[in-house]
């Protein structure tokens, strides 16, 4: 099961620091969860994840359901043993991936009827199936099945999706209770598009059902950044203060700083790992593209203030060389750095909240951002 306690709050913002207790370990919040799409956080081992500071990771139900399949995961009594990760795991319901990846999908009252993007096979996932699959995965935190809508969507479309999501949430809660809860926690997902009144309706309906935590879904689906932030800012205060608040699928380092200030506790995003493989590296002075020619003769570390093994042992020139040659080591070293940066950023924010200096931390974060002023040492 799950126990959540707020241990510090900011007097300047809505930021808060807390602890989520699970059977597999404690999770300090606010927390960033690296995304393990197919039973792995791409390019790194579980030991490297821990060395970067990860306390919980995310698994994708849609991908793991299709490949390797739940029958394989059952052989290992769950995803933890299968991938050799002994910490907490959160799994999503699969709804967003069906929305974004399936070749053909049809939403009915019963659930998602879709065609696999891998082999074209047809599948049906109901709310009950979503709970059953995530139970087979052995996740510590599982999510209700929800309908995610694209942006823009009119109010009628958003309201219809909200109502279906609420009905599915009730079915998920019933299925979860009927399985004996299996030692995991179930989160509801707030929908409602970009409409504040619908967001309120969704939050109130989910709180009436009563979940272990609440997620803000349907963000970062194509809307302008200011609208995304406004929607999060109006939604987060609607959620109960004694439960974890999870903003799904977001975002940049600046997004995380702003959302923590609004009172969010949990985040996930593919950005640190995906961008690492594309050569974009996050630093204390901003994001840099390591393929840029200016790094060819640069003997300095990527980020002199970073404590990751990549920055401690390798130069920008070497990282530039590896990436331009498309060496596999490039993806590994870049990913280790980006994950460390994200996880250390969360650690810094937790410390700032505990010291009641979050606003000062936020100001300093932005003051340092200048990717054109990269400190370093040239050797040409």
pLDDT digits (tens, 9 = 90+) for 302-321: 999 999 999 999 999 999 99
Q: What letter would DSSP give residue 293?
A: G
**Structural contact between residues 295 and 303, judged by C-beta atoms closer than 8 angstroms:** no
Confidence of residue 380 (pLDDT cuts 50, 70, 90): very low
**pLDDT greater than 90 at residue 99:** no
Element (H, E) at 226: helix 225-235
Specify the length of the chain in residues: 380
Closest to 279 in 3D by CA, of 204, 333, 223, 206: 333
Q: Is 12 exposed, middle or buried (0-12, 13-18, 19+ CB in 10 A)?
A: middle
Residues with active-site annotation: 92, 268
- Sorted by where each begins, the domain ranges of the chain are 3-269, 281-367
Closest to 183 in 3D by CA, of 39, 78, 76: 78
Residue 373 neighbours by CB distance under 10 Å:
9
Give the pairing of strands 266-268 and 280-283. unpaired
Q: What is the mean pLDDT of residues 272-298?
A: 97
pLDDT at 95: 83
CA distance linking residue 32 with residue 55, whole number of Å: 9
Fold of 3-269: TIM Barrel (3.20.20)
| Chain segment 323-368, per-residue pLDDT in tens | 999 999 999 999 999 999 999 999 999 999 999 999 999 999 999 9
Higher-confidence residue of 38 and 373: namely 38
Least confident window among 1-5, 136-140, 224-228, 376-380: 376-380
Task: Dump the DSSP string for 270-336.
Answer: SHHHHHHHTTEEEETTEEEETTSGGGTTB-SBS-TT--SHHHHH-BHHHHHHHHHTT-HHHHHHHHH
What phi-psi label fits residue 39: left (phi over 0), alpha (psi between -120 and 50 degrees) or beta? left
- pTM for this model (two decimals): 0.96
């Amino acid at each position: 099961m799950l126990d959540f306690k707020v241990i510090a709050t900011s007097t300047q913002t809505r930021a808060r620091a807390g602890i989520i207790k699970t059977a597999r370990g404690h999770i300090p919040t606010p927390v960033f969860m690296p995304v393990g799409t197919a039973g792995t956080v791409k390019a790194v081992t579980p030991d490297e994840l821990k060395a970067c500071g990860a306390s919980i990771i995310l698994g994708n139900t849609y991908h793991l359901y299709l490949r390797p399949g739940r029958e394989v995961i059952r052989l290992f009594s769950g995803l933890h043993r299968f991938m050799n990760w002994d910490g907490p795991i959160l799994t999503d319901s699969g709804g967003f991936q069906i929305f974004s990846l399936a070749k053909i999908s049809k939403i009915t009252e019963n659930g998602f009827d879709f065609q696999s993007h891998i082999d074209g096979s047809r599948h049906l996932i109901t709310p009950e199936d979503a709970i059953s699959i995530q139970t087979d995965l052995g996740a510590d935190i599982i999510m209700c099945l929800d309908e995610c809508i694209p942006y823009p969507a009119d109010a009628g479309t958003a309201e219809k999706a909200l109502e279906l999501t609420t009905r599915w949430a009730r079915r998920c809660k019933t299925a979860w209770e009927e399985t004996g809860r299996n030692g995991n926690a179930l989160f509801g997902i707030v929908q409602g598009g970009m409409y504040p009144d619908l967001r309120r309706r969704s939050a109130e309906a989910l709180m009436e059902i009563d979940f272990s935590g609440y997620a803000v879904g349907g963000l970062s689906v194509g809307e302008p950044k200011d609208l995304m932030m406004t929607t999060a800012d109006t939604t987060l205060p609607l959620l109960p203060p004694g439960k974890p608040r999870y903003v799904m699928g977001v975002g940049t380092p600046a997004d995380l700083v702003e959302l923590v200030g609004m009172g969010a506790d949990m985040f996930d995003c593919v950005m640190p790992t995906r961008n690492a493989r594309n050569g974009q590296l996050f630093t204390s002075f901003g994001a840099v593209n390591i393929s840029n020619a200016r790094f060819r003769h640069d003997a300095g570390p990527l980020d002199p203030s970073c404590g990751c093994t990549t920055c401690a042992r390798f130069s920008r020139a070497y990282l530039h060389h590896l990436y331009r040659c498309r060496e596999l080591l490039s993806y590994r070293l870049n990913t280790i750095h980006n994950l460390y940066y994200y996880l250390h950023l969360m650690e810094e924010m937790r410390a700032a909240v505990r010291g009641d200096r979050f606003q000062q931390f936020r100001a300093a974060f932005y003051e340092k951002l200048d990717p054109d002023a990269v400190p370093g040492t040239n050797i040409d």
